[in-house]
Structure 1
Amino acid sequence: MGTQMFLAGSEGLMGHISAMALASGLALEDIQMEHRGSIARRMQCVHCKGITDGVTTDPFTCSHCGLTLFVRDHFSRRLGAFQGVCVDAETPGDIPATEEIRP
């Protein structure tokens, strides 16, 4: 007999809890998830490593370092967060219009 976990909720909540479960030794195949509620994402800035919860727009401003970040679809299971990268690194000041994130 083994342990299984079922998570239902926002992406941010499920990502955070599943990351803690994986760190505690629970296998990924023993975790089932079902998205419910808000489409807000938990984002990690790849530059300062800060985590911002409740992100619903792309691009968004990092709450830790102030960089404008592009919302990538890359999800880190270890961190339980999506990754955000500087949107105007190559062309400072060239920031696209803000849009709502779609499911």
Structure 2
Amino acid sequence: MGRLLYKPFGIVFSVLAGKIAAKLFTAIWAALDKDASDGRPPRPTEPNAPVGKAIAATAIEAATYAGTRAAFDRAGVRTFHYLTGVWAGPKPPKSKR
């Protein structure tokens, strides 16, 4: 039941995490790539993009999105638990003691 109640909050947190991750990645890439005139990371499908830069940009982007999403998911579940007393994530296994 708690997971169902949390679902709308989880969706909002996911959207916020995506928006913040995009801005965070743009800032990170601008700090890392001083050569780029427009500040955009190279895409793997661009014909003139260096292979190393395209792979590095994609890897950093994925790590940024995953880390931001995990932080928002964790903060959202903990806040929901604090406010309602219901844990919205999977239940921990029972102790065999």
TM over 0.5: no
TM-score of the aligned structures, taking structure 1 as reference length: 0.21
Choose between structure 1 and 2: higher strand proportion: 1
Quick check: which has more Rg, 1 or 2? 2
Between structures 1 and 2, the one with greater helix share: 2
Higher relative contact order (CA 8 A, sep 6+): 2
- The TM-score, its normalising length taken from structure 2, stands at 0.22
